[in-house]
Every structure is written in C-alpha cells, then in structure tokens.
Amino acid sequence: MGKPRIMDKLKITGGKELNGEVIISGAKNAALPILAGSILSSAPVTLNNIPQLNDVATMLTLLQSMGAEVIFDEKMDLRLNAKEIEKYFAPYDLVKTMRASILVLGPLLSRFGRAEVSLPGGCAIGARPVNLHVKGLRAMGAKISIKNGYIYATAKKLQGTNYRFDEVSVTGTENIMMAAVLAKGKTVITNAAMEPEVKDLAQFLKSMGANIEGEGTSQIVVDGVDRLRETNYRIMPDRIESGTYLIAAAITGGKILLKKTAPQYLKTVISKLQLSGANIKCGDDWISLDMHNKKLKAVDFETSPYPGFPTDMQAQFCALNSISSGSARMKETIFENRFQHVIELHRMGADIEIKGNIATSKGVRRLTAAPVMATDLRASAGLIIAALAAHGDTIIDRIYHIDRGYERIEEKLQQLGAHISRETS
C-alpha cells in the first residue's frame, strides 16, 4: 500500500497458460466498512486478513486524521483504537479518491452525534449518489444539510426507525446498520443488501456486542446498545478477487487452485464458468478450476444484487466471452456506465456491440495486443484478463485503479506463469 503512482503501466505478454496456486486476500469491500465500523467503539479492535490495498491505506489515513490510533503489528494484523477520535471531518481530497469514505458518516453520527463528510461524487461507472444513505439517517432523526459539496449532519441521539431502501444499496445498508448500532431503540431495515460483505460487517459489529439479526437477508433488525467492547476479528476472503483469478485461468486454458477463499459466496460466477466449459471443484476454503483444453463457450449473464451475478465481475466475464465461441448477451442492471472496458477491448479486436445496458459479444478467435487504458477498478481487471490471452505485448495505462482493489496482482499472476511486469515511468 503506498501512494498511487499515476504514471505506472502494466506490460503483459499474452498466450501463457496460468497454472498453479494462489492465496486469496481479505475482501476489500468487507475491510472498508469494518474499518469505518471501528469508529463505533472506544475499545481497541484487532483485525486480521486485512488486504494491503490503496483503498485500505486511504481509509486508515482518514481514520488517523480523525484521531484514531492505527498500528500494523509484525504479523500484519491491524490494531485500531478509536477512543481518542476528536475530529468528525472527512475532507474532499480523501473522499474523492475513495468513495467508500462515506461509510464513516453513520458511525460518526451514531457515536458522536456529528459528522462533516464530503459528498463522494461520481466515478467512471456512474453518478453514485448517496441520497438513500442521507434519507435513512434523516429517518433516524439526523439533521442533515448539504452545501458546498459537503454533508453536514448532527443528531442529539439517533432514534431507531423502520427504513425501507427504495433501491438495494450495499454501502447504504452498511451505513444505516452502523448508525443503528448505538441509536436509541430498534431499527428495521428492509430491502437491505444481502451481499456477504454486509454480513461480514454485521458479524464484526456483533463480535463487539452490537445487537443485530437478519444480516445476509433483505431484512436486518438492530437493537441499539450503549457501548461496544473490544474484539479480534478476521476479514472474510475476497470473492471478486477469487472470481477474477478463476477467469484469468479459464481464458488462458490453465489450471488453478485458489486457497483461503469462500466458494459459497461465488455460486453464480462458478455456475456461469461451468457453462463456459470450465471444470470446477470446491472445498470449504478452496476452489479448483481446470479447462482440460476444452474450448470456451460464450455465456449470457445479467448483473443483479446478491445472490445474483455480481456487477463487479461483469468486466472480467465480458473479456472471457470476447474470445469464447458463439454469442453472449451481457446485461448490466446496477450501474449506468459500466461498459468502459468494452471500448478498450475493441482496440484489442473484440467484437462486442453495446445497446443501452446490454453488451452483445461475438467470440473472435484471438485478441491482439494494443495499448489500452484502465478506467476503473474492475475494468482494469477485465483488461488484464484480455491481455493474458491476447497475442503480443499489451500495455495497460492508469493502473493506479487496479492497485486500489487487488493485492500484489503482478506477483500473484507471475507465480501462476504470467509474463507481466510493472513499468514505472
């Protein structure tokens, strides 16, 4: 984790089969809300399996700027102490680099009754509004005004309420659930996000004494408590990193074993990969994939909230379909602008047509290397996957996007036999 190096590029020589084992890191989208949730407790918190990612570094910088103590021990376990937090401010220059900073809003309001958090603003994949977060906090009695790009929120004491999300929102559900932990009375959240990362956050909060039921279903019930105790908690494995490596092996016709992963959270991706011709076996914490030299078949999919096909796997599967035989219909229902990677895949020879929120691919025999540009985190993963199978040397620009969400990606891919290197200019 370090300062994102804006000019870094990745160079990938395609055509090498990926074979071998890879250890999956802790989930970025569980670590970020759990780090924000540590604000709720004045007792020390120890977290294991924290992924070493730029987004995690940004969240830790934000917590430290508020006064939290942050120490990595020799085992890379993270010791956090939010006892001394005395600032409730999340500045634009931090929030604009990592939208998930909005997750400090609920915990700050719940424990301290005040918060001043920059609006995250949009990103490449969409406008990314936070109106449903604000609406829920207002329903709990928070006084919220939005001006000059900031959310100014105060609350004498948040009150439990019944809140139904107009649209399923992962971080929206997480923010309201965290706000409810120290609120007065009961909060019932309906149309809640059921993502495993929401469940992991709830289990972290319960390990500190929070009173939560129903996590992982569309109805979450929280009974407010007065304070939380210390905890030692292990972050769940990253299901999107897992899916990304499975597809990287599949597109190169290889054989891979993922370790320290959680197959139960990847069911839709695994079943789609089996339809594409991959032979997949699963154990408690491992997944193996073997293409057995079978030809890839194109597979239709439609993204939807969990347990549906994850939008965060759309770009990766799109790359796979681009060289799979036949045609595939790929529908993106979550974000309004999440096909940016397709424009770059066209440069590599992909035959994909976009009409509204549907991309239709016609498999080509082979992609060819080209200079391409990463536009967002998962689009970058899609381009890396395409480059691994393309003929020639692909140069991917703006790879600071990839460093936000994939721990040591070149190293893990090199260990699997990929010809990949980082060029720092």
Which residues lie near ligand EPZ (CB under 6 A)? 28-29, 32, 100, 126, 128-133, 167, 169-172, 311-312, 334-335, 377-378, 405
Dihedral sign for Cα atoms in the order 319, 324, 329, 334: negative
Tokens linked to 411: 């190293």
Q: How far is CA 399 from the centre of its chain?
A: 16
Minimum CB separation of residue 297 from ligand EPZ in Å reads 26
Going along 246-363, which residue ranges are E strands?
255-259, 279-282, 286-290, 301-302, 327-331, 351-355, 358-362
Distance (Å, rounded) from C-alpha 336 to C-alpha 71?
Answer: 39
- In sequence order, what are the beta bridge partners of 167? none
36: amino acid identity, one letter: A
Measured from the CB atom, is 28 or 255 closer to ligand EPZ? 28
- CB nearer ligand EPZ, residue 241 or residue 410: 241
Report the nearest approach of ligand EPZ to the CB of residue 338 (Å).
8
Alpha-carbon gap, residue 255 to 274, rounded angstroms: 14
Q: Of 105 and 155, which CB lies nearer to ligand EPZ in the complex structure? A: 105
- Minimum Å gap between C-beta 139 and ligand EPZ is 13
Cis bond leading into 91, ω under 30°? no
Give me the DSSP letters along 182-224: TSBSEEEEES----HHHHHHHHHHHHTT-EEE-TTSSEEEEE-
SS3 content of the chain, % helix, strand, coil (to 5): 35, 25, 40
* Nearest distance from C-beta of residue 265 to ligand EPZ, angstroms: 13
Residues with Cβ < 8 Å from 159, sequence gap 6 or more?
A: 140, 141, 183, 184, 185
Catalytic entry in 57, 94, 123, 225: 123
The question of whether 282 is a catalytic residue gets the answer no
The SS3 assignment for 156 reads coil
**What is the closest distance, in whole angstroms, from the C-beta atom of residue 255 to ligand EPZ in the complex?**
27
Our CB check for ligand EPZ shows the closer of 100 and 373 to be: 100
CB of 313 to ligand EPZ, least distance (A): 10
User: Which CB, 261 or 311, lies closer to ligand EPZ?
Assistant: 311
Question: Burial level of 156, CB count in 10 A (0-12/13-18/19+)?
Answer: exposed
Judge whether 322 and 364 are in contact, CB under 8 Å: yes
Residue with Cβ nearer ligand EPZ (166 or 423): 166
Distance CA 23, CA 225 (A): 38
Cβ neighbours of residue 74 under 8 Å, at least 6 residues apart? none
CB 194 to ligand EPZ: min, Å: 11
Q: Are strands 143-147 and 162-164 parallel, antiparallel or unpaired?
A: unpaired
Of 136, 83, 131, 138, the closest CA to residue 111 belongs to 83
- Comparing CB distances to ligand EPZ, the nearer of 14 and 120 is 120
Which residue's CB is nearer to ligand EPZ, number 247 or number 298? 247
Q: Closest distance between ligand EPZ and the C-beta of residue 332, in Å?
A: 10
Q: Which residues are catalytic?
A: 123
